[in-house]
Structure 1
Amino acid sequence: MEERHVIVTYRLDHATIHELCAQLEPDLMSAIRHPTGIPPLLQVLSVLHFLASGSFQTTVAIASGMSQPMFSNVLSRVLSALLKHIRSYIVFPQVGDLPAVKGDFDALGHIPNIIGAIDGTHVALVPPSRSEQVYRNRKSYHSMNVQMVCLADQYISHVNAKFPGSVHDAYILRNSSIPYVMGQLQRHRVWLIGGSLYYSPKKVFQIIVACCMLDNLALCRQVPFLQEDGPAGGLVASVEPLDSEEEEVEEEDIDNGNNVIQQYFQ
């Protein structure tokens, strides 16, 4: 598979995908209990495709040569493995980084002493039946209220994706690590400037943070953002069933998955 097609499909290049796979492989191998278990590379490729496309699980599962229940298990496995490395991918600027970070913002918008742009967004989900109202936001749909901080180059330096949609932005800010960090940096006179697919709250949290980590990885490796020819795609605004917890492995699916890996290496 040529490099451009790899980047369009997975949002990462060959080299970065292999490094990511090597990092996650111990966790992905330990989770395989079936003798014909899914190779770690196929697990990583299928989840990267899912996150990059915003498509249905069934669509990605078919493209990856596996069943939807199997892909659901793979998705949970890879997300859990990836989030173990969050501190390596999402890092807030340290004192020694401040001059360069402030300089980047000054060059971008001529506003001095800025070390981050902070804002919130709502990500739709299927709420737990026992606490449905907690997830209903001010626009009357169910969501997680996500707080992020970005640097001038769009690197995500902080993400907080654990609060339901009904929680006010100010409460999320007060109960995040940002006030403490900014208090520690106060003497440096720096500031923050601020302005679908549906899953359970836990899975939404994992997907959001994983996407932030992978976006930072692509940015740090200078992977270009490429799209397929034609109109730009978006998230599919439909509801899929919540993830199945089945862990069956079908040998026919494994054979199809091996074909995906072979195509990737061509």
Structure 2
Amino acid sequence: MEAFLGVLYLRALRRERRFRDRLDLLALTDQELMKHYRFPRHELIELIEELEPQLGWRTRRTRAIPPHTQVLLALRILASGSFQHVIGDTTGTHIAIKAPSIDEHLYVNRKRYHSLNVQVVCNARGLITSFCARFPGMFV
């Protein structure tokens, strides 16, 4: 077992470590650019050149984040799709109704019409997964 671990250790020592700036367009292959940012190299360069005047900061005190880094970081976050398949409304919607005969005043909302406060949640395909319509549209 020790011999096996020794071989792994020596192999790790011999392996040449390669460090590169992952935000440098010239350091990445075309396939890596498409995988990480979903844009080809020439379009990334055009986008950075277009946004550079708006993103550049002039400062004497600190080193500002360069515009190309800002653009690449934003594209990386957008390309990751971390909030995919999430659709919802947490505030609810007022649905107009006819004035009920019992407790009519409870159903008058802030815009002074009778309503129900309804919350609907759907999935990415537009199918309703949750529906709640039990609260009057009361204006407090």
TM-score range relative to shorter protein: 0.3 to 0.5
Q: TM-score, normalised by structure 2?
A: 0.41
Task: Specify the structure having the higher radius of gyration (Cα).
Answer: 2
Greater relative contact order structure (CA < 8 Å, 6+ sep): 1
Q: TM-score, normalised by structure 1?
A: 0.23
Structure in which a larger fraction of residues adopt helix: 1
